[in-house]
Structure 1
Amino acid sequence: MTINCSGTLIDLSVPKVMGILNVTPNSFYDGGKHREINSIIHQVDKMLSEGADFIDIGAYSSKPSAEFVSELEEIERLKVVVKELINTFPNIVLSVDTFRAAVAKVAVEHGVAIVNDISAGLLDEKMLPTVAELKVPYIMMHMRGNPQTMQSMTKYDDIVKEITFYFSERIQKARSFGISDIIIDPGFGFAKTVEQNYEVLNKMEVFSMLELTLLAGVSRKSMIYKVLETTPQEALNGTTVLNTIALQKGAKILRVHDVKEAVECIKLVSKLNVI
């Protein structure tokens, strides 16, 4: 499988690493850590040198009960960061983490190559036609509700079956607008209990029937630190364990805070000839 990022075909037959860059004051793990441009450039330089293939920029925290951020503020946060990163790292491949079509449009116009949408187009009816017009790869995630309400929407009869149906419907909708490069993300931590997250991870190979690239984003999430009775700051080892399982279950992109460890994980798991 390949995706077209600004004219460059990226081969996803070998798993890739997406480094997380939050430019928000309230992200669950690194909120406020990367708000100054020098800090941002230093962090991105570190992730790229450690082997990140993509950098995913988020300017609106999607943690449970996240505070509202206006569209204008989200755009202004992104514009400055994207410009500086492209000037500093001309070959960088950027993704924008947003569920707003206007934000995605501005980001791509400023050089972003991928749109990463936690709502799969359900929180902004203009998102799918906008992505189709922009002709960029689209990451669609499974979620119910929105960041403010999702944790109250965790009742499922068969969660894996319902997620598969959700993706089938959203993929068909995206295709109807002409979106060709689609990546799916099961949405660990979004409208799911801890137990449900592990059920989805355990059965993640089911999503291979959709014949699309699969992204796993478990990095330092509560499904790890709640089980281990620790904190996000102490959840790196648990993240690596679950990333290993995700690779064995078919993940081709690991979305992570800690790039070096994810790259090492891919190298070691590849020796088993299971990816």
Structure 2
Amino acid sequence: MPIPAHSTAPFAPNAFPADRFMLNCRGRSLDCRPGREDGPGVQVMGILNVTPDSFSDGGEFLAVEDAVSRAAEMLSEGASIIDVGGESTRPGAEPVPPEDEMDRVLPVVEALTDEFPDALLSIDTYKPEVARAALDAGAHILNDVTGLRHDPAMAEVAAAADAPLILMHSKGAPGDLTAPREYADVTAEVRDALAQSIEAAEAAGVDSIVIDPGFGFGKSHAENRRLINEIDELLTLDRPLLMGVSRKSTIGATLGSPDNPAPVEDRLFGSLGATAVGVIRGASIVRTHDVAATTEMLTVLNSTLHA
């Protein structure tokens, strides 16, 4: 479906095919059509890192009770999805063995399933064995930061469980995903790579697919900003788009400079500004550390766009 380049007007939800933008989350529906008028107008995904070394909140939620408390807070603030991750993708982070990753995430997924049976849970992993175990423990969505490049069997796991699959654009191997890469036309190349990931997922039988341009993964600050401004061009893939810019280095460099970026704790307002542009361009899922502030900003943005 053609999307007007650089649209600044709200999209019409009925312009998007329901079979692709209404996700089937293991029997539960999630409306990811751009232009929804209710609430913030997009789905907000709260980040729950159960890692010792994530760039923003590493080590804060390793204990199950701390993770459950944080999830409760984000759900009360407006998150519709909690994204649980057991391996950091920050620059320099080492890959984690599947057994260690499962030791981190499975107790949290099980506890969240018991405590919040109505919450949608996503598992941030590229390992099929971790994904399968998390789905068995109660997760609903798979989030693969390699876009099936690391292990195409992730698609088979998603298809077997009737779970949505988030396909993020990145290059390189786990542990090296944030290394600088060369692009002649970043938006076109990201779009083409995501199209290949979609094709592989569809061939494996995955019905509900979400695309993620991979902001901050091997792109320069200028390329990240361009991708945000050209999200509508990626919507020609006819799939819901997730954006995750929360507190990332491009926000810090833009607020400060590449050599002297704003510290992570001072990147909230910059993250909200970039998010607003992305949603206006058509993003329908926003992944964030700061659920309350993001939800409030999106609610006002949405009500203004539809005034």
> What is the TM-score of this pair, normalised by structure 2?
0.87
Match in the other structure for 1:250: 282
1:43 equivalent in alignment to 2:70: yes
Q: CA deviation at 1:132?
A: 1.4
Aligned counterparts of 1:6 and 1:68: Cα–Cα separation in 2: 29
Return the match for 2:303 from 250, 263, 271: 271
Q: CA deviation at 1:153?
A: 4.2
Letter in 2 for 1:196: E
Match in the other structure for 2:259: none
Q: How many matched pairs? A: 275
CA contact (8 A) 1:117 1:139 kept: yes
CA contact (8 A) 1:247 1:269 kept: no
Deviations 1:19-59 (A, max 9, x none): 00000000000000111122111111110100100000000
Question: Once superposed, what is the RMSD of the aligned Cα atoms?
Answer: 1.4
Where does the alignment leave 5 or more consecutive residues of structure 2 unmatched?
Answer: 1-20, 37-41, 257-261
> What is the TM-score of this pair, normalised by structure 1?
0.96
DSSP 3-state at the match of 2:117: coil
Match in the other structure for 2:56: 29
1:179 equivalent in alignment to 2:199: no
Match in the other structure for 1:167: 194
Q: CA deviation at 1:169?
A: 1.1
1:126 equivalent in alignment to 2:146: no
Return the match for 2:92 from 65, 72, 84: 65
CA contact (8 A) 1:137 1:180 kept: yes
Match in the other structure for 2:215: 188
CA contact (8 A) 2:215 2:224 kept: yes
Match in the other structure for 1:78: 105
Q: State the identity as a percent.
A: 35
Aligned counterparts of 2:150 and 2:187: Cα–Cα separation in 1: 22
CA contact (8 A) 1:163 1:186 kept: yes
Where does the alignment leave 5 or more consecutive residues of structure 1 unmatched?
Answer: none
Bigger relative contact order, structure 1 or 2, given CA contacts below 8 A and separation 6+? 2
Deviations 1:45-103 (A, max 9, x none): 11010010000000000112212211100011111111111111121110000011111
Match in the other structure for 2:29: 9
1:54 equivalent in alignment to 2:81: yes
Distance 1:41 1:176, change over 3 A: same
CA contact (8 A) 1:185 1:214 kept: yes
Aligned counterparts of 1:4 and 1:175: Cα–Cα separation in 2: 14
Deviations 1:175-200 (A, max 9, x none): 11111100000000001111111111
Q: CA deviation at 1:147?
A: 4.1
Runs of 4+ off more than 4 Å: none
Aligned counterparts of 2:155 and 2:149: Cα–Cα separation in 1: 9
